[in-house]
């Protein structure tokens, strides 16, 4: 009997908590605590593919880019290289921490990180309407200078301390390069880390060459796509809340532990989920179910193994209490 395959997307406080500086010690500790929660999936016979976010980390890489250019005249690297850089660094950290966790539990498995390209359409409408904020905050004068010099687009930061941040497109992921290799490695029992930060966005030009796209891809949408492409049975998003809620932070807030596809879609369309945080996660889970996945789960990073937590979405209601 073939084992179940699960794709687990690490996000929220799985790697870095909001009140932390982001030191490597903090990230390694958070990662280790999160990965401890995945041991029960291995013990229950699951093959695993792990994806992860990179928001804070790639932001720091971009700021190092800026500092290097301004202080030492070091050439800046484009966004695709920065995303790949973060994939390699975070993937290495997850790989090493997971090997140590497996060793602690006496489990002998290979763990491998794959720097992953994700295909997008260069004519995606997102390229004409960039919205995703990246990098540091600049003054108006700095933003105007960089916009003129590099062609970057900036938007005002109205919800924080002011200033301007660069915005880039966030196109829809269409395909995952090397998906068959990821699937083959995972089905042979290896733990694969892939599609970090949504993957490096690339497109195919008129010569059929692979070209980089100056963009970032939503991590959860890319993870959901990968899960479908490799025939995963289940899709997990580990974030900073233990459940899906409706009427979140209101007097009539309600936990939704078991959801079906149609009700979840209705909640999404009714605006129950914040566009910048939970809505993309819900959409990713719905995409997975619609394309044939059996179950999507959203829960807090450190509570996956505790079966009383987590919201489960299936095509029809399914109270399995797992």
Residues 209 and 68 in one domain: yes
For residue 302, being part of any structural domain is answered with yes
33 and 143 housed in the same domain:
no
Which structural domain range is residue 143 located in? 130-168
Query: Exactly one of 37, 54, 179, 281 is catalytic; which is it?
Result: 281
Residue-wise pLDDT tens digits, 266-322: 999 999 999 878 999 999 999 999 999 999 999 998 888 887 899 999 999 765 544
Percent of the chain topping pLDDT 70? 97
**pLDDT at site 137:** 86
Instruction: State yes or no: is 3 an active-site residue.
Output: no
Task: Please tell me the least confidently modeled range out of 72-76, 142-146, 187-191, 275-279.
Answer: 275-279
Q: Residue 322 falls within a domain, yes or no?
A: no
Residue-level pLDDT at 161: 72
**Active-site residue, selected from the candidate residues 11, 12, 196, 198:** 12
Residue 231 pLDDT: 98
Check if 132 is active-site: yes
Residue 183 lies in a domain: yes
The reply to whether 261 and 278 lie within a common domain is: yes
Residue 268 half-sphere exposure, CB side, CA atoms within 13 Å? 20
Which one of the listed residues 60, 68, 99, 132 is annotated catalytic?
132
Concerning whether 12 is annotated as a catalytic residue, the answer is yes
State the number of CA atoms in the 13 A half-sphere of 111 facing the CB: 20
Q: Tell me, yes or no, whether 28 lies in a domain.
A: yes
What residues have CB less than 8 Å from 113, skipping those under 6 apart? 87, 88, 91, 92, 94, 95, 192, 193, 194, 196
Q: Domain check: are 55 and 180 in the same one?
A: yes
* pLDDT of the residue at 318: 66
Question: Residues 28, 102: one domain?
Answer: yes
**Is 243 within a domain?**
yes
Residue 6, φ and ψ in degrees, nearest 5: -120, 140
Query: What sign for the dihedral angle of Cα 314, 223, 28, 104?
Result: positive
Q: Which of 142, 168, 194 lies at the terminal end of a domain, its last residue? A: 168
Any domain includes 204 = yes
Q: Is 150 a catalytic residue?
A: no
Report the pLDDT averaged over residues 243-259: 96
Residues 156 and 180 in one domain: no
| Burial environment of residue 303 by CB neighbours within 10 A (0 to 12, 13 to 18, 19 or more) | middle
Residue 321: inside a domain, yes or no?
no
Residues 86 and 143 in one domain: no
What CATH code is carried by the domain that includes residue 232?
3.40.1160.10
In this structure, are 19 and 74 located in the same domain? Answer: yes
Q: Do 151 and 203 belong together in one domain? A: no
Model pLDDT, residue 160? 67
Q: At what angle do helices 79-104 and 55-72 cross, to 10 degrees?
A: 130
Which one is catalytic: 11, 135, 196, 219?
219
Question: What is the number of domains present in the chain?
Answer: 2
User: pLDDT tens for residues 72-95?
Assistant: 999 999 999 999 999 999 999 999
- 203 and 242 share one domain: yes
Residues 227 and 117 in one domain: yes
- DSSP state, 52? E
Structure tokens given for 232: 């995963």
What average pLDDT does the chain have?
A: 93
Same-domain check for residues 144 and 228? no
Query: Is 13 noted as a catalytic residue in this protein?
Result: yes
| 214-229 pLDDT tens trace | 999 999 999 999 999 9
Whether residue 320 lies inside any domain: the answer is no
């Amino acid at each position: 009997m073939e084992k179940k395959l699960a794709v687990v997307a690490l996000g929220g406080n799985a790697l870095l908590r909001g009140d932390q500086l982001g030191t490597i010690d903090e990230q390694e500790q958070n990662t280790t605590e999160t990965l401890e929660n995945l041991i029960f999936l291995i013990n229950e016979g699951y093959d695993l593919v792990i994806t992860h976010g990179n928001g804070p980390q790639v932001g720091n890489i971009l700021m190092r880019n800026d500092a290097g250019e301004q202080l030492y005249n070091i050439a800046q690297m484009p966004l695709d290289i920065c995303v790949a850089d973060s994939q390699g660094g975070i993937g290495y950290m997850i790989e090493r921490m997971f090997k140590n966790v497996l060793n602690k539990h006496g489990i002998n498995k290979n763990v491998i990180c794959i720097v992953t390209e994700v295909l997008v359409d260069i004519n995606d409408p997102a390229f004409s309407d960039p919205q995703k904020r990246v990098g540091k905050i600049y003054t108006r004068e700095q933003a105007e200078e960089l916009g003129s010099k590099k062609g970057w687009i900036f938007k005002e930061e109205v919800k924080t301390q002011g200033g301007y941040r660069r915005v880039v497109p966030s196109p829809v992921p269409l395909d995952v390069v090397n998906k068959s290799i990821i699937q083959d490695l995972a089905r042979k029992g290896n733990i694969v880390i892939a599609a970090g930060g949504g993957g490096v966005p690339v497109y195919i030009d008129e010569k059929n060459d692979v070209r980089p796209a100056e963009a970032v891809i939503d991590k959860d949408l890319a993870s959901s796509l990968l899960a479908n492409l490799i025939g995963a049975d289940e899709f997990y998003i580990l974030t900073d809340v233990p459940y899906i809620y409706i009427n979140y932070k209101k007097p009539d807030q309600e936990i939704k532990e078991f959801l079906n596809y149609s009700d979840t879609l209705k909640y999404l369309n009714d605006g129950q989920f914040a566009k910048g945080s939970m809505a993309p996660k819900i959409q990713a889970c719905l995409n997975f179910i619609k394309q044939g996945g059996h179950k999507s789960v959203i829960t807090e990073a450190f509570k996956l193994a505790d079966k009383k937590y987590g919201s489960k979405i299936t095509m029809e209601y399914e109270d399995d209490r797992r």
